[in-house]
Structure 1
Amino acid sequence: MSNEYRHILVAVDLTKDSHLVLKRALPIAERNGAKISIMHTLEPLGFAYGGDIPMDLTSIQEQLDGHARERLSDIATPHGISAADQHVVVGMPDSEIQRFAKERQVDLIVVGSHGRHGFALLLGSTSTGVLHGAECDVLAVRVGNDKTAAE
């Protein structure tokens, strides 16, 4: 198995911690001469509300998509990641990240992890779902704790 990465996918949730996740991936990409793609996954509004809302949610979903694209650009563009390598997709985060990685021949996925314990761990997280279904290496970057908040 090679330690050389050619395509790194950074999956972010668009919180302030997203910068920390990208910051961890950048030197790995630089050392390996790897391409970086960055993505955010929006869950469909129908999933959140069980599809029982008797109204068309298309315009709201489009607004959420536009806002996500702006936030993703704010995170990625200052680091030289082109708009073509910034992706917002709609679906379940862990499966969309895995699908993207497989289709685009990603060999490293970098994702944030809150390091939850107890009930939160049992309920699962995106990073856990990605780890268990990925066909490539996964780097889970610890975020959202006192140490990273101080950085």
Structure 2
Amino acid sequence: MARPKPETFDKQKVVAENRRARFDYAIEDRFEAGLALQGTEVKALRAGEASITESFAEVRDGQVFLVNANIPEFSHGNRFNHEPRRPRKLLLNAREIDRLLGATERKGMTLVPLSIYFNRRGRAKVELALAKGRQSQDKREYIKDREWQRDKARIMRERG
């Protein structure tokens, strides 16, 4: 039997974060996936160089790939340097892949990376979200709710 997943992921060093995704998408579920990387990609990530703002994940042939994520070439890499925007394989369980495939095909959901980070063991991980795109009126509602929560907290602090 598989061990239970923790509620929050063990993030030691966050390399890249997609903060816009929380605004543009309504996040349903989160997954932690490993990244299949080349040597110079790991070195570039450890240097803190990555961008996932325009990236997404897709299921192809029973495997999940991170598409359009930019990990720039390592500065001290030589002819063995990697291609910056190549599709990278994400490491997930077969059951999780089936669940993601079903959600993206049937429900019209999107796989959005929220962050790339290193865990305590030094492994590069991606926090992947199963999300549904928000319309502009939904975004306005989201902003209104967020501002009300902020105002409510301020009022409660002032009243003691």
- Range of TM-score over shorter length: under 0.3
Q: TM-score, normalised by structure 1?
A: 0.25
Q: TM-score, normalised by structure 2?
A: 0.24
Which protein has the bigger strand share?
A: 2
